[in-house]
Chain A
Amino acid sequence: MKNYLKRQQKLFTEAQQQRLEELNIMIAGTGGLGTNQALQLQRIGVNKIYLYDYDQVEVSNLNRQLCYGKNDIGRTKVEAAADFLEQFDLETEIVVSTEKITLATEVPADIDIIFDGMDNFESRFILDQLAAENEIAFIHAGIEEFFAQIMLVLPESELRLKDVFAGSEKKELPAVFSPAVTVTASIQVLEALKYLLAFDDYLENQLLHIDLLSNQMELIDLK
């Protein structure tokens, strides 16, 4: 076990902790959700994080994308994020890619799950299809104002993101801010871990709906 992980030792069995430290994660999109996911996944000691984003840092990102500051404006997001994460010297390997994710993207062979860090449904549907074709688990999250939803799609699942969210594409830019984004990404990481570390209960054919205005989290059955 990495020596800085002692305070989380009691949370997991020895096998789970070992598995946790072997996990390789692909984060698709290093915006608000993606930067928060990366920070959490690095802190808990996963083996490797692949960061995918083809964009550069813009001033409008800074209200929620925690790996960037004003000095990073104009830099490639994944490189700025990698520099930020690596300064903590926490052993998790960070691998970056500026490839725009399409159905032709060759996903890394060693990943255990794909994290949705996208900011629109069109991109998410492509990502979900890529996960399905490569038989890799995929965990979706979307956040807007004070509301979010999270859905875990298992490799063998016939129920895909588009089955639930068809018709969700829209043109307007959603309102997003840091506290709600951070909460959502943290729950996304937790839900992914419950599945990856084989906890008894994890999201399966269910949508987790989060209402931060009313402090309510509810499961919506999808079958």
Chain B
Amino acid sequence: MALEVKFYSLFRINLKTKGIEYQQESEITITELIEKLDQDFEGYFTQKLLKEDGTIARGTIILVNGKNIFHLNKLETKVSDGDIVTLFPPSAGG
């Protein structure tokens, strides 16, 4: 079991990978997860997911086990081994 982070759309193209797994026995918040991702992807996710004041940026989706963190505990939502975090910029046009 691991904490699975999946990337879609431009995130996948930019980072040239479908995602990353972390062994994470104890719970961490999404903010802490973004810090971990930043270490592995050179600060990419802070830039894409957060505003300058550290709140969630508009136009990106963070799902934990299929649920938007907006409806959970936002950036304080906790994740650990066995959870799936899905990250993507949703397509808005038509």
Contacts and interface: CB of A to CB of B under 8 A. Distances in A.
Interface of A: 29, 31-34, 116-121, 141-145, 147-149, 163-170, 172-176, 181, 205, 209, 211, 213-214, 218, 220-223
A220 B10 contact: no
Contact of B61 (A165, A175, A223): A165
Contacts of A223: 66
A213 B71 CA distance: 31
A222 B66 contact: yes
Contacts of A165: 61, 68, 90
Contacts of A174: 91-93
Contacts of B70: 166-167
Closest 3 CB pairs of A and B: A174-B93, A144-B91, A170-B59
B72 to A, nearest CB: 11
A57 to B, nearest CB: 15
B8 A218 contact: yes
A119 B10 CA distance: 19
Contacts, number: 102
- Residue of B9, B12, B58, B67 with most chain A CB atoms under a 10 A cut-off: B9
B5 interface: no
Contacts of B71: 163, 166
Contacts of B92: 119-121, 142, 144, 168, 170, 174
Contacts of A121: 90, 92
B13 A32 contact: no
Contact of A117 (B8, B56, B94): B94
Contact of A147 (B56, B68, B91): B91
Given A164-B63, A168-B58, A170-B58, A211 B94 contact: no
- Residue of B65, B66, B67, B92 with most chain A CB atoms under a 10 A cut-off: B92
Given A167-B60, A167-B61, A220 B86 contact: yes
Contacts of A222: 63, 66-67
B88 interface: yes
Interface string B71-94: 100000000000010101111111
Given A167-B61, A220-B86, A29 B66 contact: no
A167 B67 CA distance: 13
B8 A211 contact: yes
13 contacts: A32-B93, A143-B93, A144-B92, A148-B91, A165-B68, A165-B90, A166-B68, A168-B59, A213-B13, A214-B12, A220-B63, A221-B65, A222-B66
A118 B94 contact: yes
Contact of A145 (B10, B66, B68, B86): B10
Contacts of B8: 147, 209, 211, 218, 220
A144 B61 contact: no
A175 B9 contact: no
A187 B92 CA distance: 17
- Residue of A121, A142, A164, A205 with most chain B CB atoms under a 10 A cut-off: A164
